[in-house]
DNA sequence: ACCTAGCTTGCTTGAGAACC
DNA sequence: GGTTCTCAAGCAAGCTAGGT
C-alpha cells in the first residue's frame, strides 16, 4: 500500500485510507489544540505536522471529549463535581477553545449529538464540564482570571498627550446630510465578510481636543501630504504606512504601533498616573475606550453600536 | 526577533424559549 | 402565529509571558 500520508508530507498519520477523498481541514490556531487532544486520546505524541482524515475521527464520542476536558481542568478524568476539594487549574475559556478546536475537525460539525451520531462536542457531558468549571470560577475555586482592566479617562488623556509630545501623532468627504460631520466607508475589517456589512459610517467631532477624531484625521492628512504617502492619494497606498507592499504593510504598521505604545506606556508621565490605579492594565482597551466610556456615562448598547468615532459627541452636547 | 501557549475580547448567527 | 429575548456556538482577532 502506498503511504497515503506521504501525499500530505506526513509520517504519523493514523488510519489513512489508501485513496483519501476528503482533504483534511486546517486551521493554524485550532490545529495546535486538536493535536494535543488526539495525542491524549491515542496515548501517543503527535507532531504538529500530523493531519487526521475525517474517517479517522468518526469514532470520537462525547465521553472522549468530556474526559479530555476534565483531564485538562483537573488533571484526571475521575472528577466528582460535588467535591469542593477538586478545583480546576485552567479557565473555562481555555476549555471552550479546546472544544471549538475539536469541533472544527469533526466530520459532522453542525448537528447536535443525538446519542449515536452528530458532533460529539455538542453534547451534554461536554457542556457539563465547561459549566462546572465556570461555576468553580464563580465560587473562587477556579484559576484566577488573567483579565486586564480598561484604561481610565485620565490614562487615556495621558496617552494622547504623550503621543503628541513625541511628535508621532502625524496622524474622506463631508457627509451630505450632516454638513458638520464626515462620512467614510471601510471595505474590510475584522468580522466583515459581506458587502452589506460595509455601510457608510459617520464620524462626528468631539468638543474635546484630546478625543476629537476629526482633528486627529486632519493632522494626519496634513502630515501625510507633506511626506507624500498614505492619504496623499496614491491608490495603492495604505493609510497609515509608507509601505505599499500588501504583505509588508501590516507588519510595518504593527511594528510601529507596538513601538509607539511601548514608549508611551513605559514613559514616566504615564506610569505616574497608571500606578495610582489598582489592577493590571491591558492595552487592548485603548481601541474600545470610547465605547467603554460611553457605556459608563449611560449610553445604551445600541447607541454605542452607532460607532461614533472618538468620544460620543452627543454626550458632549455637540 | 520570532514563536508558542494560554487566555481574553468583541462580534455574528441560529435555535429555542418566552412573551404578546 | 409572530416577535422578542436568551444563550450556545462559532469566528477572528489581540495580549502577555516565556521559550528559542
Residue A114 lies in a domain: yes
Instruction: For residues A183 and A286, state if they share a domain.
Output: yes
- How far is residue A167's CA from residue A2's CA, in Å, rounded to a whole number? 64
Q: How many residues does chain A have?
A: 318
Instruction: For residues A265 and A239, state if they share a domain.
Output: yes
Instruction: For residues A157 and A302, state if they share a domain.
Output: yes
Closest residue to B11 by CA to C1' distance? Answer: A191
Domain boundary (A109, A138, A167) is at: A138
* Nucleotides on strand B lying under 7 Å from protein C-beta: 4-13
DSSP state of A2: -
Residue A147 lies in a domain: no
Residue A148 lies in a domain: no
Instruction: For residues A119 and A186, state if they share a domain.
Output: no
Q: Provide, in whole angstroms, the distance separating residue A157's CA from nucleotide C10's C1'.
A: 36
Instruction: For residues A271 and A200, state if they share a domain.
Output: yes
If you search the block for the grid coordinates 475525517, which residue do you land on? Answer: A54
Instruction: For residues A31 and A84, state if they share a domain.
Output: yes
Residue A160: φ, ψ to 5°: -60, -45
Q: Provide, in whole angstroms, the distance separating residue A32's CA from nucleotide B5's C1'.
A: 9
A:146-165 Cβ neighbours of strand C under 7 Å: 148
Measuring from the CA of residue A282 to each C1' atom, give the nucleotide at the shortest distance. Answer: C15
- How far is residue A265's CA from residue A97's CA, in Å, rounded to a whole number? 30
Measuring from the CA of residue A305 to each C1' atom, give the nucleotide at the shortest distance. Answer: B11
Residue A164 lies in a domain: yes
Domain boundary (A114, A138, A162) is at: A138
Give Dmax (Cα) for chain A. Answer: 76
- How far is residue A199's CA from residue A186's CA, in Å, rounded to a whole number? 8
* Proximity of residue A29 CB to strand C below 7 A: yes
Q: Provide, in whole angstroms, the distance separating residue A249's CA from nucleotide B2's C1'.
A: 18
pTM of the model: 0.62
Structural domain count of chain A: 2
Instruction: For residues A112 and A204, state if they share a domain.
Output: no
Residue A215 lies in a domain: yes
Of A160, A153, A163, nearest in space to A263 by CA: A163
Instruction: For residues A166 and A279, state if they share a domain.
Output: yes
C-alpha cell at A81: 463535581
* Proximity of residue A121 CB to strand C below 7 A: yes
Residue A145 lies in a domain: no
Task: Find residues whose C-beta atom lies within 7 angstroms of strand B.
Answer: A 29, 32-33, 36, 48, 90-91, 93-94, 97, 143, 145-148, 191, 194, 282, 284-285, 288, 291-292
- How far is residue A76's CA from residue A83's CA, in Å, rounded to a whole number? 14
Per-residue pLDDT of chain A (318 residues; tens, 9 = 90+): 223 232 232 333 333 333 333 445 555 556 667 777 877 777 776 766 666 766 667 778 878 888 888 877 777 788 877 777 777 777 777 777 777 777 777 776 656 676 677 777 777 777 777 777 777 766 667 666 655 556 667 777 776 676 666 544 433 444 555 666 766 655 444 444 444 445 555 666 777 777 776 777 777 667 666 665 554 455 445 556 666 655 555 555 555 665 666 666 667 777 677 666 655 565 555 656 666 666 666 665 555 555 433 333 322 222
Closest residue to C9 by CA to C1' distance? Answer: A100
If you search the block for the grid coordinates 464626515, which residue do you land on? Answer: A182
- How far is residue A87's CA from residue A140's CA, in Å, rounded to a whole number? 9
**Range of A85's domain?**
4-138
- Positive or negative, the CA dihedral A69, A74, A76, A82 is negative
Amino acid at each position: 500500500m502506498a503511504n497515503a500520508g506521504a501525499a500530505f508530507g506526513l509520517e504519523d498519520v493514523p488510519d489513512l485510507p489508501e485513496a483519501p477523498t476528503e482533504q483534511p481541514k486546517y486551521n493554524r490556531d485550532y490545529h495546535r489544540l486538536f493535536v494535543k487532544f488526539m495525542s491524549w486520546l491515542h496515548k501517543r505524541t503527535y507532531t504538529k505536522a500530523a493531519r487526521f482524515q475525517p474517517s479517522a475521527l468518526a469514532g470520537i464520542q462525547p465521553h472522549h471529549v468530556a474526559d479530555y476536558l476534565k483531564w485538562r481542568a483537573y488533571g484526571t478524568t475521575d472528577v466528582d463535581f460535588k467535591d469542593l476539594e477538586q478545583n480546576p487549574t485552567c479557565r473555562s475559556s481555555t476549555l471552550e477553545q479546546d472544544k471549538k478546536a475539536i469541533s472544527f475537525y469533526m466530520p459532522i460539525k453542525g448537528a447536535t449529538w443525538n446519542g449515536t451520531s452528530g458532533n460529539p462536542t455538542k453534547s451534554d457531558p461536554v457542556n457539563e464540564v465547561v459549566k462546572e468549571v465556570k461555576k468553580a470560577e464563580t465560587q473562587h475555586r477556579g484559576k484566577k482570571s488573567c483579565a486586564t482592566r480598561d484604561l481610565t479617562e485620565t490614562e487615556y488623556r495621558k496617552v494622547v498627550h504623550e503621543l503628541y509630545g513625541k511628535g508621532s501623532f502625524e496622524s474622506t468627504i463631508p457627509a451630505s446630510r450632516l454638513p458638520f460631520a464626515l462620512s467614510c466607508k471601510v471595505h474590510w475589517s475584522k468580522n466583515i465578510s459581506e458587502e452589506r456589512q460595509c455601510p457608510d459610517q459617520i464620524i462626528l467631532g468631539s468638543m474635546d481636543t484630546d478625543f476629537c477624531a476629526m482633528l486627529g484625521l486632519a493632522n494626519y492628512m496634513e502630515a501625510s501630504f507633506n511626506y507624500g504617502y498614505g492619504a496623499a492619494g496614491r491608490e495603492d497606498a495604505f493609510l497609515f504606512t509608507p509601505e505599499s507592499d500588501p504583505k509588508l504593510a501590516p507588519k510595518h504598521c504593527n511594528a510601529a504601533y507596538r513601538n509607539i505604545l511601548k514608549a508611551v506606556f513605559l514613559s514616566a508621565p504615564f506610569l505616574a498616573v497608571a500606578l495610582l490605579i489598582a489592577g493590571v492594565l491591558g492595552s487592548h482597551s485603548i481601541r474600545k475606550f470610547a465605547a467603554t466610556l460611553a457605556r459608563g456615562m449611560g449610553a445604551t448598547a445600541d447607541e454605542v453600536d452607532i460607532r461614533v468615532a472618538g468620544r460620543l459627541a452627543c454626550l458632549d452636547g455637540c
